[in-house]
Amino acid sequence: MSSSKSLLRGAAAMILSALAFAIMGVCIQVCALTLPNTMVVFFRNASGLVFLAPILLRGGRASLKTTHLKEHAIRGAAGLSAMYCFFYAIAHMRLADAVLLNYTLPLFIPVVESLWLGEPMPLRLAPPLILGFLGVVVVLRPGSGLMTGAALVGLLAGLLSAVAQTGIRRLTLTEPIVRIVIYFAMMGTSVSALALPFVWVTPRPGTWLIIVLLGLSATTGQLLLTKAYSYAPASQIGGFVYSGVLFAALMDWLRLDIVPRPHFFAGALLVMASGALMFRLMSKRPVPVLIDSE
């Protein structure tokens, strides 16, 4: 396959992945109308574990053998916390705003790596970092009423996702990707299940259909995201993930008749440009930056 065709297919897969995650966001918003956040997080993790079950059964206990349980636990705690925050933001904000805040992940990664791994942060990353956080300020406009608790939780989701991503990077030095994903699915499902007896609300028949669509869209998005990176490196196609912001804005318009204001598009443009540049500058990382719902 020629490089141009690979790039085109990679970009297409990335855009379709962003669309799937936007649909997942709508499902989360609908579920949140009648279900607590803890239940929605559980159903998301449980659906992922169901999808991974055939791989787990085929690999047997050997696929779970590891000497890095502590590292898996740190990655799992950060990833699950990020999911709780992201889902909460989706339930309490416009979808486009919540998705954009979650997409600040690439902006936090150099800072987290510098503090956690002790790696110096290249000066070339300073301009896109400043540009990206300026975009966040433009979107939220402190003092305008948009800087709510939900917005701060959404921004925290981006930070926690960066911690989880850094944990993945450390684990990939000794662990296969499949094992990392399986451990997270198992931990996420089991930990989020602990609160179910205290918060359980029996979903309505129609809600069960949304839950199924939630799992399907999340799994499809993750598969497409992985497929995209098999066609082309993150430095070339990573920026296309930001099409998810536009899809989320479209969902807000179609479902709630909410049209984003000009300041949102101005801030989103800054964040997207910053994120795309970060993908290119960090292209030599051992693991590509993955932006999803965890």
pLDDT for the residue numbered 164: 85
- Which segment of 84-93, 151-160, 172-181, 239-248 scores lowest on mean pLDDT? 172-181
The pair of structure tokens assigned to 188 is 């996420």
76-89 mean pLDDT: 92
Average pLDDT over residues 177-181: 78
Please compute the mean of the pLDDT values over residues 135-159 and round it to a whole number.
Answer: 78
Mean pLDDT, the chain, whole residue set:
82
User: pTM of the full predicted structure?
Assistant: 0.83
Q: How confident is the model at residue 153 (pLDDT cuts 50, 70, 90)?
A: very high
- The residue with tokens 């970009």 is 11
